[in-house]
Amino acid sequence: MRKKLVAGNWKMNTDSKSGVELAKAVATAAGTGHDKVDVLICPPFVYLTTIAQAISGSAVKLGAQNCYFEKPGAFTGETAVSMIKDVGAGYVILGHSERRHVLHESDELINRKMIAVLEGGLVPVFCVGELLSEREGNKTEAVLNTQMEKGLAGISESQLGQVVIAYEPVWAIGTGKTASPEQAEEAHAYIRSWLAKHYSQAAADKMQILYGGSVKPDNAKELMAKPNVDGALVGGASLKAADFVGIIDAAKSL
Ligand code: PGA
């Protein structure tokens, strides 16, 4: 039985005060943990240290939203994996659609970051997903195929065991348009079959595949009830404690 993961991607939101308040509310709800649900929050870099303190003693896990693949050195404005680890974060979101489409990150760059995160002993939350035009052109599987093949290039089966995948259809992110549970399940099943084909069925069966895209307390349960949906990567609703806790509770109720 795969454990569910409810992850909050705060994106470029909060400040030190509101971030700490939000983190503390999540920490209270998560308590010392749950046997079927893990909780992760990914605040902006500058708040990681403060948020690490705010959630200390709780089961809430901490992640960054990005990293650079190089070791510390002359890379102005970038953040190394070792630094993220140093402040107590264990996860790094990679390949998010905003980084792919707004910051123009290529599959090759995402792959270099993936290798750096895995070599650093952290868990990449590797996001994949198609644009609306790609879905309408029946290219969803082809897009997922390319993103998975290039993003996971050179990743061994044992390293894959450290990866979390997030299926985030771009047309559902921040738009209020959630994929239906059936659409999510179909894409998740495709991703799992891809993993079985390129690695092994055993490896594929162990992978956590999260759904992301307008997850809210009122749609979270039916999405996460699908057999291949192992949790949620939540943007907007992770910024409101009551909503995010509602999604955590939905996962616990399954
Ligand atoms: P959303 O964002 O929940 O606001 O749609 C999800 C994400 O981008 O990870």
Instruction: For residue range 7-25, list pLDDT tens digits in order.
Output: 999 999 999 999 999 999 9
pLDDT at 206: 98
Taking the C-alpha atoms of residue 212 and residue 231, their distance in angstroms, rounded to an integer, is 9
Q: Tell me the pLDDT tens digit for each residue of 220-239.
A: 999 999 999 999 999 999 99
Phi, psi of 226 (to 5 degrees): -70, 140
Which ligand 1 atom lies nearest to the CA of residue 172?
Answer: 5
> Is it the case that residue 1 has pLDDT exceeding 90?
no
Rounded percentage of the chain residues whose pLDDT exceeds 90:
98
Categorise residue 173: left if φ over 0, alpha if ψ from -120 to 50, beta otherwise: beta
Residue identifier of the C-alpha nearest atom 3 of ligand 1: 235
Tokens of 87: 């402040």
Element containing residue 32 per DSSP (H, E): none
pLDDT one-digit tens code per residue, 111-153: 999 999 999 999 999 999 999 999 999 999 999 999 999 999 9
Ligand 1: which atom is nearest the Cα of residue 238?
A: 3
Q: What SS3 state is found at 219?
A: helix
Mean pLDDT of the chain: 97
Instruction: Please give the average per-residue pLDDT across 52-68, as a whole number.
Output: 98
Q: How far apart are CA 223 and CA 178, in angstroms?
A: 10
Average pLDDT over residues 45-73: 98
The number of the ligand 1 atom at minimal distance from the alpha carbon of 234 is 3
Question: How far does residue 73's CA lie from ligand 1's centre (Å)?
Answer: 32
Write down the pLDDT at residue 235: 98
Which residue ranges make up each domain of the chain?
4-252
Choose the weakest-confidence range: 158-167, 170-179, 234-243.
Answer: 170-179
Please give the distance, rounded to the nearest whole angstrom, from the Cα atom of residue 74 to the centre of ligand 1: 32
* Tokens encoding 233: 């990567």
Residue 176 backbone class (left: φ over 0; alpha: ψ -120 to 50; beta: rest): left
Distance (angstroms) between ligand 1 centre and the Cα of 213 equals: 5
CATH superfamily, domain at 4-252:
Aldolase class I (3.20.20.70)
Question: For this structure, is 96 an active site residue?
Answer: yes
pLDDT in the model for residue 98: 97
For helices 181-198 and 140-151, what crossing angle results, to 10°?
A: 40
Output the DSSP codes for 51-79: HHHHTTTSS-EEEES--BSSPSSS-TT--
Give residues (CB < 6 A) around ligand 1.
9, 168, 173-174, 212-215, 233-237
